[in-house]
Amino acid sequence: MAKIRIPPGIRAAWMGARRFWYKFSKNRLSVIGLIAVVIVILLAIFARQIAPYPAHAGRFVDFANASRPPSMTYLLGTDVVGRDILSRIFFGFRFSLLMGVIVLALVVPPGVVLGLVAGYWKGRWIDTLIMRVTDVFLAVPPLVLSLAIASVLKPNLFNAMIAVSLMWWPWYCRLVYGITSSVRTEFFVQAAEVAGASKAHILFREILPNCVSPILTKMSLDMGWVILLGAALSFVGLGVQPPRPGLGTMVADGAKYMPDSWWIAVFPALAIMFVVLGFNLLGDGLRDVLSVEEV
Amino acid sequence: MLELTDLCKYFPVQGGILRRKVGEVRAVDGVDLRVAKGEILGLVGESGSGKSTLGYTIVGIYDPTRGSITFKGSDLVARRRHDQRAVSKEVQIVFQDPGSSLNPKRTIKQTLELPLKIHRVGASRKERLAILKELMRTVELPEPYLYRSPSALSGGQRQRVAVARSLASRPDFLVLDEPTSALDVSVQAKLTRLLLSLREELDLTYVFITHDLSLMRNVATSVAIMYLGKTCEIAEAEPFFAQPLHPYTQMLLSSIPVVSEEEEKHKPKQVIPSGEIPSPVNIPSGCSFRTRCPSVMDICSVQDPVFREVLPGHHVRCHLYGLEVGAE
Amino acid sequence: MSAKRVFEIRDLQVGFRMFRGNLEVLDRASLFVDPGEKVGLVGETGCGKSITMKATIGILPIPPAYIAGGGIYVDGHNILELRGRELRHVRGLMSLIPQDPGASLNPVFRVGTQLQDAIRYSTAGRGLGRRQLRRKAISILSEVGLPDPERNLANYPIQLSGGMKQRVLIAMALVTNPLLLIADEPTTALDVTIEAQILRLMRAAVDRRNLSILIITHNLGVVREFTDRVYIMYAGQVSEQAPTRTLFEGPLHPYTKGLIESVPKLTGEGIAAGIPGMVPDYMEVSPGCRFAPRCSHAMEVCTEKPVMRMQGTARGVACYLYEAMTEREGTCSS
């Protein structure tokens, strides 16, 4: 059998991935978190195929089967207009994940870039400018700011994302700022400077790779928080609008009927808990594995 | 090749709420130095001596507060301000700590390629790869190591990569900041040999910063001793070790723990070091060494001795040698 | 039967469980310290001397480390078999002078607080009042030569120089009245003039109090100036042991010879060739003599682990070149 030449770079990456898994899998909770997250992602993607009553996610009424407790036909029961809760939860995961992904996509790049710039030129005016702006945004309690913004704009998921993004970016800026200001004095950065490397190279090719692990960890933990925040906004009516099956919206709908038709609010709430806990455990596990490998 | 004239580097100390300058650290305080082409100048000192700061100032990490650096006849600081890249092609540095002088998130290949790319050495990727392979051969590292990351290499190997990186742009002048101090003794020997043979092969000039006088005994062509930012004694290696003049030099030499009886005989008579090295923020008045000097005299607290040539080619800063009238 | 040894390690085997497999680091290492002796344990990075020290004072991270065999005897008691109060008591007979003075003192507490804590929690300091603690602290600081002890008690570590911090650490080690001091690279981080002072201080303290000390270092010069006896370690095996003078005047093991040769000499003999090859990866370590791959005198038989051949109680070498030496295996304790 001929020996296949694997490019050394890919081989090294594969070994790194195996080593990562070895360390990661040692912590049972992290693996549980990973499994939970994978389940949620799969359910969200294949909601239409997996959900028993996919049509219930949209405009659908069936008063004959309204407010039915959990049974064999409706595993988690139905809500006041007869929609299957289980199916709606699957679709609800879509909105949750979408919220998390889009907010992080909006927040991470500018936060990271600003953090790099402020940290590298620490002590100069650009540092002061960026960090004081960051401080202003951080001073406002997150929920209050999101509520304020979301209520000014038209209430829908998109605007909820904007609101959350505006108060989330400073955290990434701070994180990267801290790492950058300590890394920039390391010898390898000095070496690059002495060699005459451009500032762009130093920031993005020398310093940034050293920030990736904490950023990834934070992103994973943040997914949970952003989803929670999104659910909170939906709960007060500023996020996902009915009849869309946002998890927070569903909890809001069902809250009125507690404790008689408890399943209408409780199951969506448990779903929120499931996804948030999953991301938190995953993030903790990532942090434990990644933080040991630092310089 | 390199000449330093009254070179000074002061760092401001900030204090108080308004962070105003309350004092300064005189890391390098009036150094005059000359390095000829092909020489190895051993720059020796303990902590606080300013030897590393001096090296960094030469290489451009710091700008001098005062004084001038002349390199190949022209003002290095001015040239650097005008075109930093051209200067960095000729003057390079090897850092002390193999752990942090290589970016842990970049492969060896990426780290070595950087100076090549910056200085446009090698027109195509293929050419650059060939040059990289040549570099690895020069520092006696196997080619496949190019694709590893620094964490997979030992300290000695990492230092070789650091040396390769400094040589990538084909410089004439290298500042070596304690390149072997963090390494084991057997690895030190090999790396030092490599550095010596490279100097021969590539016609380099070194400023070798270290605290290890035994090493300099076998490596340096001339030696400069620094204490709290000033030079105490400068001479060519032979006369230096044959007749160390400055009390601090004698103290250094007699403190070295040696490994053989013959070496004991080469040490000056036992000078038991006393006291702590003063902090560079609070340098004693007059001669900064007076707080620890076994031969201290009254004049030492009043006046800083002048750095003068006491024997041909042998400069000392000490009142013990300054009292002859009309000596020079 | 000779007086009880203060410290002895017998056939210690320590390994690490890693992703790639098991690293068998310490391969039946043995050494001892008699009362009042100054013993050096010398080796380069990765030779296992740190692991030996960590196993002794109990900070070995188990898992992934594991102790596969052997014993560590302090004042006759095997600390690997003790638990709880007994273990703490026996451990209290040892004191550690750690490696990096900058990192070993807690930066947010004053020097006096940390020193007095050390006194208070030792057997010597039980039940002392605040004033007595303070007096004891000041007296020990003067003993280690710290200038102006009263004022320095109130200082934070950051206000002290490296040498002064090391003196404080030595004071903290002495104040518990140990039988054995373990000094882990005590002068590696210090300047050479300060190193000379600290070594004199340690020698004086050890002689005055009739302590035993095990000094772990890679600096051969320090070992030659300071110790009575030396052990040389390579890749987890003890390769040679001798009284200090004997070792430096006539090293036997090829590794020892290579090491001493590699040190740059003040006599100006140039730079040695060093030892060819590299320290082995413990995953790929050779069976038998671990130095064999780098040894110019390697023979067929070197794939079998060489036994430590002793000449008397203090001189031994684990090398097949010296089969002719008196055949007495290992380092028996009786």
The answer to whether residue A46 neighbours chain C at the CB level (below 8 Å) is: no
Residue of C nearest to B213 (CA): C266
Collect all residues of chain C within an 8 Å Cβ-Cβ radius of residue A22. 19
pLDDT at B83 over 60: yes
* Structural domain contains residue B326: no
Phi and psi at residue C225, to the nearest 5° = -80, -25
- What is the pLDDT at residue A164? 81
- What is the pLDDT at residue B79? 87
Strand order in the sheet with B2-15: B20-35, B2-15, B66-71, B74-75
Three-class DSSP category at C232 = strand
State what percent of residues in chain B have pLDDT above 90.
18
Both tokens assigned to B195: 């550095």
> C-alpha C29: how far from its chain's center?
13
* Structural domain contains residue B328: no
- pLDDT tens-digit readout, B243-275: 888 989 998 988 888 888 888 888 887 777 777
CA distances from A293 to A21, A221, C287 (A): 14, 19, 31
Model ipTM? 0.83
pLDDT at B327 over 60: no
Interior CA angle at B99 toward B95 and B102, to 5°? 65
CB pairs under 8 A between A and B: 67
* Structural domain contains residue B327: no
Collect all residues of chain A within an 8 Å Cβ-Cβ radius of residue C19. 18-19, 22-23
Both tokens assigned to C58: 């109990």
**Quick one: residue C271, left, alpha or beta (phi over 0 = left, psi -120 to 50 = alpha)?**
beta
Contact call for B258 and C265, based on CB within 8 A: yes
Distance CA A219, CA A211 (A): 12
Note whether B88 and A196 are within 8 A (CB). Answer: yes
Residue A166 neighbours by CB under 8 Å, 6+ apart = A137, A145, A149
Rg of chain A over CA atoms, in angstroms? 23
Distance CA C320, CA B33 (A): 54
Chain B adjacent subunits, 3+ CB pairs under 8 A: A, C
DSSP element (H, E) containing B249: helix B247-255
- What is the pLDDT at residue C334? 28
Q: How far is C265 from chain B (nearest CA, A)?
A: 6
Nearest CA-CA partner of A254 in A276, A277, A229, A231: A231
- Considering only A85-89, B21-25, C132-136, C218-222, which range has the smallest mean pLDDT? B21-25
Q: How far is A22 from chain C (nearest CA, A)?
A: 7
The residue range of the domain holding B267 is: 2-321
Three-class DSSP category at B184 = coil
Three-class DSSP category at B13 = strand
Nearest CA-CA partner of B92 in A194, C166, A274, A210: A194
Q: Could you tell me the domains of chain A?
A: 74-291 (1.10.3720.10)
Phi and psi at residue B56, to the nearest 5° = -65, -30
Beta-bridge partners for B34? B3
Chain mean pLDDT for chain C: 86
CA distances from C176 to B124, B305, C112, C183 (A): 67, 48, 15, 15
* Structural domain contains residue B248: yes
The torsion defined by the Cα of A124, A129, A130 and A133, in degrees rounded to 10, comes to: 160
More confident residue, B278 or C1: B278
Both tokens assigned to C299: 């023979």
Mean pLDDT, rounded, for B230-237: 91
- What angle in degrees, to the nearest 10, is found between the helix axes of A8-24 and A28-45? 110
Distance CA B144, CA B123 (A): 23
Query: Which amino acid would we find at residue B314?
Result: H
- What is the pLDDT at residue A49? 86
pLDDT at B328 over 60: no
Mean pLDDT, rounded, for C143-172: 89
Nearest CB neighbour to B88, from listed A188, A194, A294: A194
More confident residue, B99 or A131: A131
The answer to whether residue A188 neighbours chain C at the CB level (below 8 Å) is: no
* CA torsion through residues C258, C263, C265, C268, sign: positive
Per-residue pLDDT band at B87 (split at 50, 70, 90): confident
Three-class DSSP category at A156 = coil
- What is the pLDDT at residue A294? 41
Encode burial over C231-255: b for 16+ CB neighbours within 10 A, e otherwise: bbbbbbbbbbbbebebbbeebbbbb
Distance CA B258, CA B266 (A): 10
- pLDDT tens-digit readout, A42-94: 999 988 888 888 888 778 888 888 888 888 888 888 888 888 888 888 988 98
Interior CA angle at B69 toward B68 and B75, to 5°? 90
- What is the pLDDT at residue A117? 93
Query: What CATH number does residue B187 fall under?
Result: 3.40.50.300
- pLDDT tens-digit readout, B111-143: 888 888 888 777 788 888 888 888 888 888 888
The answer to whether residue A19 neighbours chain C at the CB level (below 8 Å) is: yes
Domain total for chain B? Answer: 1
Collect all residues of chain C within an 8 Å Cβ-Cβ radius of residue B46. 191-194
